[in-house]
Structures are given as C-alpha cells and as structure tokens.
Structure 1
Amino acid sequence: MYYFDNAATTVQKPQTVADAVYDVLSSGLYGNPSRGAHGYSLRAYELVLDAKEQVKGLFHTGPDYDVAFTHNSTTALNLVLKGLLRPGDHVLTTMWEHNAVLRPLYQLEKEGVAIDFIGSDAHTGQLRYEEMEQKIRPETKLLVCNHASNVTGNVLDLSCIASFCQNHGLFFVVDASQSAGVVPIDMSDGTVTAVCFTGHKSLYGPGGTGGVCIRRDAPVRPVLTGGDGVHAFDHDQPGGVPAILEAGTSNVAGIAGLRAGVAYIRDHWQQLRQKQADLNARFLQGLRSIPGLVVYGDFSRPRVPVFAVNFSGAESAVVSDILWETYGIATRPGFHCAPLLHESLGTKQQGAVRFSLSSFTTEEDLEAALVALKKISALQ
C-alpha cells in the first residue's frame, strides 16, 4: 500500500509521538492541568506549558504571543474569527480558503459581517495580490488567508500580506494547516495577529490536536465558555489570551504527542526541508512526463508537497478509485473542502486527484504512483 493523503492527515508518525501519548496514558502520573496544586495536576500543567514553548519556538514568536491548544485548526479558526469580528465589520479573504475559514465567515456574514474575496489566477492558482488594495474599505477590520493551498500546494507571500495589513491597521489571521512544519513561519516582528494550526498533518501529532499562536493583546471575545479551574465564581469566561480561548479540560495526552511531533520537526528541520524539495522535484518531473495529465499550480515559487492532477474528461473520483483498487495507492479526489479555488481552476465539475507527500514518503512510493498513472494514461 502507498499513502498519498498526507494533506488530510499523516498516518506515519515519529515513534516519539506514540511514545509520548502512551506515557501520559499509561504512567498514571498526569492529572488535570490547572485543576489542583498536587503533583499530578502540576505535572500535566508543566507538560502543556512546555508544549506551548515548543510551538512558539517553531513559529519564532516573541513575548507578545501565547498559545491556546484546541482540537484542530477548524476550532482555532472559529474561535479567532468569531472572537474578533463584529456586525458591520468587513473582512478580506481569498479564493484559496478551506471551508474551515469559509463557513465561519458565511455564518458571520448572516450576522452582518461583509466579505470580499481576493481572486486567483485560473491557470496557476496564484493569488492576485493587487486586488487587496482594490477591495479594502474603511470598515475593513481583518484579513484571513490560507498560507498554503491544500489543492495546488501554492504558498502565499506572507510578508507581502503582512505589510499590507500593517499599513492599513488590519488584524492578520493565517490558516497554517498545510504549512506548519513544512514552510518557515516567522512571527517575530509581531505583524501577524494569529496563526491557526492543526497537529495531525505536517506536525506529526495525533488527531484531535491543534491550536492558535496569537498576540496577547488580541481583543477576542469568548466563543466557548465553561470551566477554567480558577475563577469559579465569575459569570463570564476569564479574559485575556490564552485563557479566554481555553474553556474546559485540555487533551494532555494529545498535547504530549503534539509536543513530540513539533520537537521532531525542530530537531530535523534542515534535512526534512531538503527531503521535501528532492521529493517534490522528482515527483513533478515524473508527473509532467505523463501524456494527457494536467497538473495544477505554480511550480516557479515555494510550495508544499501537494499535487492536484486530472486526466481530461475523467472524473477524479473514478481515477482515485482505480489507483486504490488496482494499485493500492491512497489519494484524495474531489473538491478538498476548497470550493472557490476549484471554481477558479475550472474543476468545479471534475474535481481533482490530490497526491500529498510527507517526510515519510519514499522514492518507492513515488515510483509506484508514477507507474500507475502512466498505465491509466495509456487507457485514455
């Protein structure tokens, strides 16, 4: 079997991740963080704090930031967008967005928030950055964008967008679901308001982990309210980042696994980046040699290891089924929860077959995929 659905979740993890989860669950030493002053609670609290430091180190933050852990980036994005936007506000976003951004925005739109979309090139999928200036309004409050497309693998120029947001006094929220652990993210200059990330993809953490690295002065309102373990008599959720985003009990075992995944990335950063570049180049060369295969995206700029392809006239679901049933190759067909980008690329009806790699992908995996696609091409 050959796994090429890492943009959905990585199934091959460093052994240290599994060991960290198992240790929390099996040791009998970790209690509920912030729910007591005994050793069990304090041990869990220290683990969570150290995991936050690992994340801040990955994103090169300064003292102006803190981390709140959530179940995934979808939860983090909901908390941040609904916590910052109010009726009458205007938000800029892009055609690249996943439904984890789009659906919260559509919900907010019904409550009086206005939305404008920055377009993308129909051929390469690249963002039309010039539209940012064209679509800004006096009431524009926030720009939210997908750092790396889960369809084309294209990566946005965050520095360009950060400068725009800084010049216009906008909150800047980044969906790093596909980029965290793969593309460098440097928050040291303080211009990014929040980076939302998920643990189960390129950070190699367990499912059900993720979070947001957010400025301490971000004026977020609580979306979820409940216990915090300290201010029991307060009617409102305690204010301030990160407490205002952390109602309820933390997933300590999952956070331990996420901490191990982030440590793995940080300890092997250069070699993982080089392997990614080598795999990307080899796979792209092979894809381009296959007759009749369309490959979407801009390959002249930095990218994540995601490749969307189609055979003209063939439904993406059918091709993906053939790859799995005949060749044991797992891919993701369809629309990848990114409907606007598929509209822009002209694949609204056909969808696309997505191959996504990880640092555990091998040359044998690539060869098997290319051989299978060549055989399917011969049937066209």
Structure 2
Amino acid sequence: MSAQYHEGQNVIYLDHAATSFPKPPEVSQALLYALEQASANPGRGSHRMAVQASRELFNCRKTLSKLLDVHNPVDIAFTANTTVALNMAIQGYLEAGDHVISTMTEHNSVRRPLEALRRSIGIEITYIPVNAQGDINLAEVDQAFRPRTRLLVCNHSSNLLGSILPVAELSSIAHDHGAKILVDIAQSAGHIPVSLSTWQIDMAAFPGHKGLLGPQGTGGLYIAPDLDLHPWIYGGTGSQSEEIHQPTVRPDRYEAGTPNTPGIAGLHAGARHVLERSVTTIAEEEQHLSQMMIEQLLHIPGVSVLGPELGKERTGIVSFIMEHKDSAEIAFRLDREFDIAVRAGMHCTPLAHLSAGTLNTGAVRASVGYRSTVDDIDRLIEAIGYIHRT
C-alpha cells in the first residue's frame, strides 16, 4: 500500500525486511501515551507513574509470549534490536575452546560476533553450506557436531533468500548432541508462525521494528528457563540493590539500566495488532504476494530470482538480479523514478550471497509486509519492465 513520507510524496514501500512501514496508528498512540502518562522509571519506584511504566513492560512481555509461544513472559529480555540480542546470547554463553555450528545464510549480526570470539578466546566455527535456494542438509548438520560443540546458531528465514530453515529439526539435532540452539527470528517473527516452546528453542533473538510492527530501537532475547547466560551489561535494575552482583531474578538479570519504555509500549501495540490480525493470515497474504511477484519477475527477460523456486514456501522476501543492470542502479531508479522503496547490495549477509552466486553483483531485495497489496506488486513489475527496456 502506498504511504506518505518525506515532502508529501507517495511511496510503494517494499522494504519490510529492513523495517515495517507504515506502522499501525495505535503504535504512535501508545508511544505518545507512554511519554505523557508513563514516563517514570519502571521497577524503580512505587508511585503510580512508575507502576504504570512497569505495567507497560509486563503487558508487552505477555503479548510477545502469546505470539512466540513462550510459557513465562519473564524469559523475554528486552534489547535495543536483534543485533544486541544476538550478541547477548553469543557472548553470554560461549567460552574459550567451544565449537559452534552455524550456516551460510547468516546475517553479519551472527557471523561477526562469532568471528570476534574466534579471534579473542579461540572458539571454533563450522559454517554449514546451503544450496542456491537456501536449503540445508540435515545429515550434514548432524555430522558437524564435535565433543566441544556447545551451540548451533541459525536464522529461521534468510534475509536475502527468503528461505525457511527447519528449526524444529535443527533443535532436535542440537539437543541430541547435548548442545543448545540460538535462532535469529528477525525475518519470521510477525511474518510466519513461530513456536519457541513447541520447537524447544533455547534462545531466540528478535527485532521490534520489523514484522512485530513496533518502533526502531526495540527488540528482545528469549532465554529458556533452564539456561543462564553471563549478563552482557551490568548495572542498576531496581531489584536486589544491596547486592554487589547482578541479580539472578529474571528479567532484571539481563536488563540493566533504564529501558526504552515508550518504545516498548509502541512494540506492545504493534505486537497486539499482529496477534489480533493473526500471524497465519499475515503469512498467507505475504506468501500470495511474494509468489505473484516471483511469477511476474520471471517473465521479464534477463531477470533471475534468488531463493526458493516458484511455488515453494518462503517469507515475503524476493531478491533478484537483472543481466547488464547494476542492482544499486535498479534500486536508485525505482526510488527516484517510480517512488518504490526496495533495498540493494549485500544485505549484511555475504555468505548467503556466496551461496547464491551473487557475491560480486549484490541483489535487489523487494520485501512485502502486512499492508502490501496486489497493486504494489503490479507497479513494481511495471517499473522493473521499464528499467529492463531502457
């Protein structure tokens, strides 16, 4: 759906894999309410405004628990984004000499923390290859485990290919080897059904600003109740203040400092919107639009679509390249000539580009969201066809 943005222009927004836009009206209303009515520090006072701020945070945890299938809301720690959540999990769990298994479709928010620990404390890493469609060989994953393997890290859906990994099966494999699993659900939370408890996921990092429809600067990390991480940051929590050590109670143990209460209130409103509309419904609509986009793109000479083949399940991410056309130029022209917002380049996932054969070219990524329409896809295809001819 076209939306208003700078200078009053209309934009066809197809960059939901980066950030959802526009937000539901109730998100900005919740932000404003929190700023005006609940601006005190949650957990730091007993006066009414502080209590209301605490209530905003807990209500958001409850809604997220329903969306993500989490039994206890206090097992969700709020963070500034998925990147912080992934760093909290990776740096809070791994120790010197550990072996980690990951995949060739990971975002730099996974790869860079892992590589930093390889340099600093000597962890070992195995990256499991995927094919050009993003499929992974489960037998190869199983064979990669070693005696010192403590963690399997993977995304639920690739932010380049739109492919969906079988995280329930991967979780079972990891547990069979006595390891834990950390899943990056940045591209699946709010877009397709997620069931962390049913899948027995140990840790899951998610953003607030993508499929959950919240504001930027919000996100979280789910930590299974039987798992204790070294806190990533230490400081005031409003609880057990007489102790010199970080509290053991959740979520305080992982949430030092004053939280982003207005942002979390906005996230709550966005997550509630997703819950009321139904993730299953959103997934069906986005699958329909992405399949329509792929089918029409493939009719344009010289266009190749990355990721799962037409008819195969994927999230609403469709990346493509065009012969004799630079991906960055295509994205620039879509914006300036057609008011269509997409993203081009490496998408912070060079290993996935290596797997897809596009490391040297990058790709154009069009990603649908909860308000995308058939008309949006038609206008994109019309614009791509014009760019192909000129």
1:6 to 16, 25, 35: 16
Q: Does 1:345 align with 2:356?
A: yes
Match of 2:182 in 1: 173
Name the structure 1 match of 2:329: 318
* Structure 1 match to 2:168: 159
Query: 2:240 matched to 1:237?
Result: no
Matches of 2:73 and 2:202, distance apart in 1: 10
Letter of the structure 1 residue corresponding to residue 128 of structure 2: I
218 and 330 in structure 1: CA distance in 2 versus 1, 3 angstrom threshold: same
* Alpha-carbon distance, 1:192 to partner: 0.8
For 1:316 and 1:161, the matched residues in 2 are separated by 34
2:42 matches 1:68: no
2:192 paired with 1:183: yes
CA distance in 2, matches of 1:107, 1:272: 37
Q: Is the 8 A contact 2:303 2:322 kept in 1?
A: yes
Match of 1:253 in 2: 262
1:137-172 Cα distance to aligned partner (Å, 9 max, x none): 000000010111110111111121011012112111
Give the SS at the match of 2:378. Answer: helix
1:107 to 95, 104, 116: 116
Partner Cα separation in structure 1 for residue 244 and residue 373 of structure 2: 54
Q: Secondary structure at the match of 2:343?
A: coil
**Alpha-carbon deviation of 1:182?**
0.9
Q: Is the 8 A contact 1:56 1:213 kept in 2?
A: no
Question: Who is 2:4 aligned against?
Answer: none
Assess, with a 3 A threshold, how the Cα gap between structure 1 residues 240 and 115 changes in structure 2: closer, same or farther. farther
Moved more, 197-206 or 186-195: 186-195
Secondary structure class of the residue paired with 1:333:
strand
TM-superposed deviation, 1:232: 2.5
AA paired with 1:362? T
Distance in 2 separating the partners of 1:258 and 1:148:
21
CA displacement at 1:65 relative to structure 2: 6.6
Can you list the C-alpha shifts for 1:276-316, whole angstroms capped at 9, x where unaligned?
23212221221121111000011353211001100123221
What is the match of residue 5 of structure 2? none
Distance 1:322 1:64, change over 3 A: closer
Residue 89 and residue 101 in structure 1: after superposition, are their counterparts in 2 closer, same or farther (change >3 A)? same
Q: 1:53 is paired with a residue of what secondary structure?
A: helix
1:46 is the counterpart of 2:48: no
AA matched with 2:27? V
Answer yes or no: is the 8 Å Cα contact 1:218–1:241 preserved in 2: no
CA shift digits 1:103-130 (9 cap, x unpaired): 1111111111111001011x32222322
Contact 2:69 2:198 in 1 (8 A): no
Q: Is 1:370 matched with 2:381?
A: yes
Query: Deviation above 6 Å: which 4+ runs of structure 1?
Result: none
* 1:206 paired to 2:215: yes
Give aligned pairs, total: 377
Residue 204 of structure 1 and its aligned partner are, at CA, apart by 0.4
Conserved? CA contact 1:309–1:354, under 8 Å: yes
Structure 2 unmatched runs, 5+: 1-10
Please tell me the residue identity of whatever aligns with 1:281: Q
On the 8 A contact 1:293/1:311 being kept in 2, the answer is: yes
Contact conserved, 1:34 with 1:41, CA < 8 A, in 2?
yes
Q: Distance in 1 between matches of 2:356 and 2:199?
A: 34
For 1:130, what is the secondary structure of its paired residue? helix
Q: Cα deviation per residue 1:184-232 (whole Å; 9 max; x = unaligned)?
A: 1112337211111000001100000000121122120011111111222
Task: State the distance in 1 between where 2:385 and 2:124 align.
Answer: 47
Stretch deviating more after TM superposition (243-252 or 319-328): 319-328
Q: Structure 1's 103 and 240: CA in aligned 2 closer, same or farther, altered over 3 A?
A: farther
On the 8 A contact 2:317/2:365 being kept in 1, the answer is yes
The residue number in structure 1 matching 2:43 is 34
**Shift in alpha-carbon separation, 1:169–1:65, aligned structure 2, 3 A:** farther
